[in-house]
Amino acid sequence: MTTKETIANANSKGLILDYYSTPSNNQYSFGRKSDFDLRKALNVIKNDPVVKGAMITMVDKVMETPWQLVGRDKRSRKSELEKKLRDLRFSKLLRKIVFNLVLYGNCFVEVVKQGGKVTDLNVLETINTDIKCKDNGDVTSYIQTVGKGTSKNPITWNPERIVHFKLSEITTNVWGEVDLQSVYDTILIKDAVREWIRWFFQTNQARGFYNIKSANREKVKDFLANLKANEVDKSKPVIAQGEIVYQLLRNFGDETKTLNDLLLWLDNQILALLNVPPIAMGFPDMSGRSNSVEQFRSLNIRVNSFHEIIEDYVTYDLFPKIGFEKVELEFGAIDDMTLKSKMEVVTLMRNANFTNEAIEEWLNEQNIFFKTKKLFEEPMEMENDKVQGEFAPSRMRKGEGEPNKQKDEVSTRDDQLVKNSVDKITMETDQWRKY
């Protein structure tokens, strides 16, 4: 006698790093969120111009490249999806996705459906979003407990209604890594230096040590009150009773270069994390054109990584959830130099008599595409082309018995002079006969 055995096939039996939870009452625990407060990341871009400028530069560079939809077969309904994405303002959505990926390393896109039709695509606030999942990382729901949601009655989405984009996915954790965390301490140091410089120019003084000799409590209190008022009104003199000895705890007056070097180092640390070269931010580079080209090449590598990540999530997660499983998203060539070099390859392929279909296939593999359906025109027939090959005059055969006219052979300099003299006399004689 045989019995049937039911086996539950889970996506993974591995557990999330540093996360071991046991489900109870069908309520699963939250995925391991970064210990870095995402609100700090949001405050960083509000306060630091280098961070915000680098983020905008990276987003602009990613969105600079055109994208297209590619159908896997004739039943892909690509034209229908193109119209749908225009109505949903998909390009604007992509820009928000890239901003969230650079800032938080995570982005949640909500698929809004009414009557079975997709009516909108919204980017959720990453700070307020949490993920409920099983021990092996299978997501059960996405929730928010702000606004209308409370801890007892949160706003909940099924996994079919949310697409979770992750920029740096290192472990099996349901959350992506927050890259900005590694540079946060650097930004705090920069904020401290900037705060000191602002205070220095506001008060026109360095931080010092006051030693008031033979002073009682009332005199010290009056002196401190007058000193604080002096910080607000720079024209007000400092008045004190008794002998005062003042010493600087640290004098930055002669160390301006040290502060500048420190701030420059901090900015380079920030740009290194965000993978944005200084020259792309408008900072002058004195190392020459070749180094600038290499810096932009490094930036293009990072941008290409963004493209691959977004292509994967949009093609295999977003499009299927809005009803288009057979359409792929593809970004084009990154920069003009790459496009120029690839078009030179096209010229070589044309000269080597590759078919138009083969060249178009190669261009698609290189993510170079155009809106026109007919990419190549038939080559124009030139007048000289009509007499090429066996029909050219130089290739025509002589008639039967027709000898080839031989040129006079001249081998020495003396023979050449004699021949030229004879030719000249003959020409002059012919001209004289005309008269």
Q: What is the 3-state secondary structure (H, E, C) of 295-309?
A: HHHHHHHHHHHHHHH
80: in domain: yes
Express as a percent the part of the chain with pLDDT over 70: 66
Give the predicted TM-score (pTM) of the model. Answer: 0.65
What does the pLDDT read at residue 74?
A: 82
DSSP H helices, 245-331, are 256-274, 289-313, 319-321
Cα–Cα distance, 273 to 270 (Å, whole number) = 5
Which among 349, 370, 338, 78 is positioned nearest to 357, based on CA atoms?
349
Q: 149-175 b/e with 16+ CB inside 10 Å = b?
A: eeeeebbebebeebbbbbbeeeeebbb
Please indicate, yes or no, if residue 248 is contained in any of the structural domains: yes
Is 170 part of a structural domain of the chain?
yes
Residues 189, 106 within the same domain? no
Instruction: Judge if 364 and 323 occupy the same domain.
Output: no
> Do 220 and 279 lie in a common domain?
yes
Which residue, 385, 402, 427, sits at the end of a domain?
A: 385
**pLDDT for the residue 2:** 47
Residues 6+ apart with CB under 8 A from 278: 267, 268, 271, 285, 295
Tell which of 288, 316, 345 closes a domain.
288
Looking at the structure, do residues 91 and 129 belong to the same domain, yes or no? yes
241 with 312, same domain?
no
Residue 434 lies in a domain: no
**Whether residue 210 sits in one domain with residue 81:** no
Q: Judge if 269 and 129 occupy the same domain.
A: no
Q: What gap in Å lies between CA 343 and CA 333, rounded to an integer?
A: 11
Together in a domain, 272 and 340: no
Which stretches in the chain have pLDDT values below 50? 1-2, 4-9, 24-26, 387, 410, 432, 435
Q: Looking at the structure, do residues 51 and 131 belong to the same domain, yes or no? A: yes
Are residues 213 and 296 in contact, defined by beta-carbon separation less than 8 angstroms?
Answer: no
Task: Please indicate, yes or no, if residue 142 is contained in any of the structural domains.
Answer: yes
* Residues 6+ away with beta carbon under 8 Å from 127: 38, 39, 42, 104
Verify that 297 and 232 share a domain, yes or no: no
Measured CA to CA, the distance from residue 147 to residue 128 in angstroms comes to 10
Predicted pLDDT at 148: 59
**Same domain, yes or no: 155 and 35:** yes
Decide if 2 is inside a domain: no
Domain contains 416: no
Work out how many domains the chain is built from and give that number. Answer: 3
How far apart (Å, rounded) are the C-alpha atoms in residues 206 and 209? Answer: 10
Beta strands in 145-202 (DSSP E): 155-157, 162-166
Q: Are residues 167 and 201 in the same domain?
A: no
* Assigned token pair, 355: 């078919």
What is the predicted pLDDT for the residue at 173? Answer: 81
Of 288, 319, 345, the position where a domain reaches its end is 288
- Domain extent at residue 268: 183-288
Residue 202 lies in a domain: yes
